[in-house]
Structure 1
Amino acid sequence: MEKYLQLTHIIKMTDINKNKKPHAALITENFPPLIGGGIAEWTIGGAQSLTKMGYPVTVMSKWKRKFDPASSHYSDRADEKKFRFLPMYGHDWRRYRYWYSLYYTWKFLRQEPQGLILATTWELGEPFVFLRRFFPDARLIVAAHGLEVTKIRGGRKLKNFRKTMASAELIAAVSRFTRQAVSDRMGDISLDQLIFIPNGVDTDRFRHTTDFDDLKKRLGIRKDTRVVLTLARVIKRKGHDTVIRSLPTIIKKFPETVYLIAGPQQDRDYVRYLKKLIAELNMIHYVIFTNFINDIDLNRLYSLADVYVMVSRILPEKGDTEGFGITFLEANSCLCPVIGSDSGGIPDAIEDGKSGFLIPPDNVSALTDKIFTLFEDPNFSRKMGRQGRERVERFFTWEKVFKKLMGELANVNRSFDKGRS
């Protein structure tokens, strides 16, 4: 009887170890309090979702300011476990990224040799190619967003890209466009582990509010003014100029309208071009620039907008594309209808005719027509906003995204274990 109990105990302990969830480390260069960006959102969404799913989680980020969950909407609720945040220190990351990520990944795996590395870009996952020989039981997931893939042209970077992707258990492309971009750069190397899993949204954080009068006042927008919003870096790819060119026609029919350009003005030459264009079209009183939107104001910003527009274009000479467009989901989550270009990964973010509209890039007349459709029929506009929110809740919460990701990893692990047996 005693031997039977001992044997039962051994079997149970074996099952526990087998089913034990690995410690997950998300390694990133973009993380709050850095505001905005798909990679930052993917990281925080992953950290919170994996923690809720019972995984021990560490976030390793080059961002130096300490993450303070109590200071922002990224906060976990009091009844939820927190994840660990580990700042990665270093200077000149562009030059020494490999060595910094090598050191911190090694440091993590030395403590967690069966750990799971989730690299938010392939370059941060590159050291795993070397480290795997010392930590054969560790696993790597690489997220592929867009620009970090499409800008690769050849040479040594392409060679390193292929090695990294081939060493990953799973490659999660946030759009079908990005998945194809990864595949195109792999040459003759087949990637069965390359899958499409879209970005997500924190639907508790992004939800409609009517508490935006104070923000409108601060931005200098009158109470009954219609607002066309773009929240993005002010760079040529984002297509702000297309929206500006549509304004004269829109203003003739709906004079109480403003175009709100929110986001950091990264490309000064492009900003100067936009301001010159605004002056030439006599639209100075109808365009508002604001560089910085506090995280706590994002709900209000999307909620005060009548339509969210980002008509991005592809810049082939730079390999510059829109990998997904997470702001479309954030706007939809706040009941705001959206208009985007049929370019890059945007078609995966917008269901044309349901959550918003897709138009050809650089097509001013098509953009004007869609804005008229929404402005002329407020009931239809509200319906589209509701459909956008329902679609986000059904398919695009971070919990659903990462449950699917971990389910795909489990399938890979089962195949791996079967192959070794």
Structure 2
Amino acid sequence: MGRTLLVTNDFPPRPGGIQIFVHKLAVRLPKDDLVVYASSWKGAREFDAEQPFEVVRDRTSVLLPTPRVARRAADLARAHGCDAVWFGAAAPLGLLAAGLKKKGIERAVALTHGHEVGWAALPGARQMLGRIGRHVDVSTYLSEYQRVRLAPLLRNLERLTPGVDTDTFHPDVDGSTVRAKYGLGDRPVIVCVSRLVPRKGQDMLIRALPLVRAKVPDAALLIVSGGPDRDRLGTLAKGQEKDVVFTGSVPWTALPEHYAAGDVYAMPCRTRRRGLDVEGLGIVYLEASATGLPVVAGDSGGAPDAVLKGETGYVVDGRDVAAIADRLTTLLLDRDLARRMGQAGRAWVEKQWQWDTQADRLAQLLHP
């Protein structure tokens, strides 16, 4: 088996679901067969020192397919004897594939996420995505929604999804410390673990909470993570400060106990900007299911693929406050139903969404 150069902006300690996706795959590849070329980020030095493979950081916080970056990537590939390149996201760094192949790279594999669907809908970006497709040997997709929209532009599409670490996210995780920290006690808690950006729908949860509390008076909303939408959400939650709790960013290692602090997981995402801002899949739903929680998902992009509708949770219109509130209220009031959905979600994740399976698939795509 040859060696692989991973070229990516999406790599920890930069936060986000794509970053977790890429890293979880990377650590499961043979450590001596991988070299990572990534953008810089606060805390990278300490993080990189703990990795089982070499990580080379660029001086910039965002890698772009410029001549300088192309030269650096080619130099790293040659110095480390890499015959394959793996792009953590197809757009825009997949544009480097053509040049790297001229420098000796034999195979290129690129992951796609939600933003490539947005590229496919814009004329100029669509042309660049087509260029990527001509030089990348395999592009991966998360959901059928994605595949249909990317198929005209990217060749050899293969499904590769995130997995879940079921030893880390499991129903026996204790969320009592988190509940105590935020004064939640034994209140019924709706938890949302996701970056604070408009697409994710935390604003709709805040709007739905009064409707939920009309039937579940003690219900609280725990919003976990940080992000650029924090100030707007805080303004929206004025008057509900005792019932809407913002944790800010939390370490990865603390995520399981934050999920476990909830009774129901909800992230009612919705597609925005006329289809340019869309959910690729939503690993958070699967992490919540692995923790034993029923989930309420939005209907954006591939998000419904992370839910067995009516079995592990519900899919709702992410713009319908009443529908969101109705599903949340049902799950908070019917604890037997919530427990059955949580158990079904755990079983489904154990069967279908293991990281080792996905990493083996990636290894086959890189070195068939």
**TM-score in terms of structure 2 length:** 0.90
Per-residue deviation, 1:210: 4.5
- Deviations along 1:371-395, whole A, 9 cap, x unmatched? 2221222122122112111111111
Q: Which residue does 1:23 correspond to in 2?
A: 3
The range that moved more, 160-169 or 202-211, is 202-211
Paired residue for 1:325? 282
User: What is residue 115 of structure 1 aligned with on the other side?
Assistant: 83
Partner in structure 2 of residue 9 of structure 1: none
Q: Which protein has the larger Cα radius of gyration, Structure 1 or Structure 2?
A: 1
Select which of 163, 174, 177 maps to 1:211: 174
Matched residue, 2:188: 226
Distance 1:371 1:120 in 2: 35
Give the partner amino acid of 1:316.
R
Q: Distance in 2 between matches of 1:242 and 1:307?
A: 15
TM-fit CA distance, 1:345 = 0.9
Between the aligned partners of 2:73 and 2:48, the Cα distance in structure 1 is 24
**Alignment check: 8 A CA contact 2:39 2:61 kept:** no
Q: Does 1:62 align with 2:39?
A: yes
**Counterpart Cα distance in 2 of 1:392 and 1:338:** 13
Structure 2 CA distance for aligned equivalents of residues 46 and 159 of structure 1:
29
By how many angstroms is 1:59 displaced? 2.4
Q: Could you say what secondary structure the match of 1:26 adopts?
A: strand
Quick one: distance in 2 between partners of 1:374 and 1:97?
47
Corresponding position of 1:257: 219
Equivalent residue, structure 2, for 1:181: 149
Contact 1:208 1:300 in 2 (8 A): no
How much has 1:50 moved relative to structure 2?
Answer: 1.6
Residue type of the partner of 1:162?
Answer: G
Letter of the 2:40 partner, please give it. Answer: W
Runs (5+) with no aligned partner, structure 2: none
Q: Secondary structure in 1 aligned to 2:265?
A: strand
Amino acid at match of 2:237: I
Alignment of 1:367-406 (within 5 A): 367-406=324-363
Q: Is the 8 A contact 2:221 2:244 kept in 1?
A: yes
**Paired residue total:** 365
Q: Is contact 2:304-2:315 (8 Å) kept?
A: yes
Over residues 257-302 of structure 1, what are the superposed CA-to-partner deviations in whole Å (9 max), with x where a residue is unaligned?
Answer: 111112213136xx33x344433xx433211112111222111001
CA separation of 1:255/1:66 partners in 2, compared to 1, >3 Å: closer, same or farther?
same
Letter in 2 for 1:267: D
Q: CA RMSD in A?
A: 2.5
Output the CA distance in 2 between the equivalents of 1:83 and 1:210: 27
- Check conservation: 2:3, 2:81, Cα contact below 8 A: no
Alpha carbons of 1:153 and 1:378: their partners in 2 closer, same or farther (altered >3 Å)?
Answer: closer
What letter corresponds to residue 28 of structure 2 in structure 1?
Answer: S
Q: Which has the higher contact order (CA 8 A, sep 6+)?
A: 2
SS in 1 for 2:171: coil
**Corresponding residue of 1:124:** 93
- Is the 8 Å Cα contact of residues 311 and 344 (structure 2) preserved in structure 1? yes
- Counterpart for residue 106 of structure 1: 74
> What's the CA shift for 1:408?
5.0
How far apart are the structure 1 equivalents of 2:363 and 2:253?
30
CA 1:85–1:336: 2 relative to 1, 3 Å: farther
**Partner residue, 1:47:** 26
Counterpart contact for 1:224–1:256, Cα < 8 Å: no
Taking structure 1 as the reference length, the TM-score comes to: 0.79
Question: Hey, what's the Cα distance between the residues in 1 that align with 2:275 and 2:69?
Answer: 26
Gapped regions of structure 1 (runs ≥ 5)? 1-20, 72-81, 414-421
